[in-house]
Amino acid sequence: MDWQALITDAGARIAPHVRHTPVATARFGDLILSLKFEQMQHTGSFKARGAFNTLMQARVPQAGVVAASGGNHGAAVAHAARILGHAARIYVPQIAGPAKIALIRAQGATLQVVPGAYAEAAARAAEWRRATGAMEVHPYDAEATVAGQGTVMAEWETQGLDADTVLIAVGGGGLVAGALGWLGGRRKVVAVEPATCAALHAAMAAGAPVDVEVSGIAANALGARRIGGLCLGLAQRYAVQTVLVSDTAIREAQTALWQEMRQLVEPAGATALAALLSGAYTPEDGERVAVLICGGNVAPDPLDSL
């Protein structure tokens, strides 16, 4: 698959609807890091890119689109569908939490909150697709999704990214797959997962996707039970290094992002930084490191406290 071509096409396709998110350099202790604030994307995460790319390159049926989501993907699909004039039906598990559920509802989608975890929501979304012919938007393991997410890294390079190594949080693997596809080995990619949502780590060890248990503070964003096959293929091809971090390390990274830069992000958005601040990933002397901040839909909604 020619990922560079797919991602270039995706970038041109979605350009009218996605934001160029800002970048900055910042020091955290002894570390000088390049950061990209992709949580400033529409609906608060990179997911808007894959959603727009998927909907814009397909013929969306009259029945509209359907998605199952821990929150961010659902909000992105609902947003893209509204902008593009399609009906959207989103199934979210209770685990998504009230802030993300409210965010999806605010996009104008038909929302179904499903008891249990992501797998139950996915089953209900599949039922709906079979019954109505609605188009399903996969959260991570589809070519159009991966190509859309890959535009983050393409954009960052146009902004002068100066790094040997890029740290990226991994759930189902759409974002890191897009980065790997775009970079094609030109920079090192480090895949960071919560120790309690380690689908890529487990798959790399097993040599194939395997089911994992998911839990912890980032689970509604990073808690895929099984890594996407597209991601695993790219991760194996480029021998990606996987790193695990604790929920404590993630919370400390959230705290550091607020205290140093007044950026309030959700646990998933701080997971890549957590690998550096906790020492789970230690750069070599002279290694220039970049961190992608990928999601900002923190709970509780901070507006509730103002």
Segment interacting with a second copy (CB under 8 A) among 21-29, 137-145, 166-174, 278-286 = 21-29
Cα separation, 8 vs 199, in Å, equals: 28
259 vs 282, which CB is nearer to a second copy?
259
Asked whether position 4 contacts a second copy by CB under 8 A, the answer is: no
Asked whether position 234 contacts a second copy by CB under 8 A, the answer is: no
Name the helix (H) or strand (E) containing 9: helix 3-14
Asked whether position 84 contacts a second copy by CB under 8 A, the answer is: no
Site for a second copy in 103-162 (CB under 8 A): 106
User: Given the structure tokens 């480090």, which residue do they identify?
Assistant: 190
Segment interacting with a second copy (CB under 8 A) among 165-173, 189-197, 237-245, 291-299 = 291-299
Amino acid at 139: P
Asked whether position 255 contacts a second copy by CB under 8 A, the answer is: yes
116 vs 300, which CB is nearer to a second copy?
300
Instruction: Please provide the distance, in angstroms rounded to a whole number, between the alpha carbons at the two ends of the chain.
Output: 49
Residue closest to 144 by CA, chosen among 203, 71, 65: 65
Which tokens is 181 given?
């596809």
Asked whether position 298 contacts a second copy by CB under 8 A, the answer is: yes
- Tell me if 253 sits within 8 A of 273, measured CB to CB: yes
Segment interacting with a second copy (CB under 8 A) among 20-28, 60-68, 171-179, 231-239 = 20-28
213 vs 304, which CB is nearer to a second copy?
304
Alpha-carbon separation of residue 174 from 83, 151, 277, 284 (angstroms): 22, 11, 24, 27
* One of 105, 188, 225, 251 touching a second copy (CB under 8 A): 251
The least distance separating a second copy from the CB of residue 176, rounded to whole angstroms, comes to 21
Asked whether position 184 contacts a second copy by CB under 8 A, the answer is: no
Site for a second copy in 87-106 (CB under 8 A): 106
Asked whether position 16 contacts a second copy by CB under 8 A, the answer is: no
Q: Contacts with a second copy: how many residues (CB under 8 A)?
A: 31
Segment interacting with a second copy (CB under 8 A) among 1-9, 129-137, 140-148, 290-298 = 290-298
User: Given the structure tokens 């990214």, which residue do they identify?
Assistant: 161
Q: What value, to the nearest 5°, has the Cα angle with vertex 233 and ends 11 and 186?
A: 55
Q: Residues of 185-211 as b/e, b for ≥16 C-beta within 10 angstroms?
A: eebbbbbbbbbbbbbbbbbbeeeebee
Cα separation, 77 vs 26, in Å, equals: 32
Q: Residues of 258-289 as b/e, b for ≥16 C-beta within 10 angstroms?
A: eeeeebebbbbbbbbbbbbbbebbebeeeeeb
Amino acid at 236: Q
The least distance separating a second copy from the CB of residue 24, rounded to whole angstroms, comes to 5
Asked whether position 20 contacts a second copy by CB under 8 A, the answer is: yes
- Chain residues binding a second copy by CB under 8 A are 19-26, 37, 39-40, 44, 106, 251, 254-255, 258-259, 261-265, 296-298, 300, 302-303, 305-306
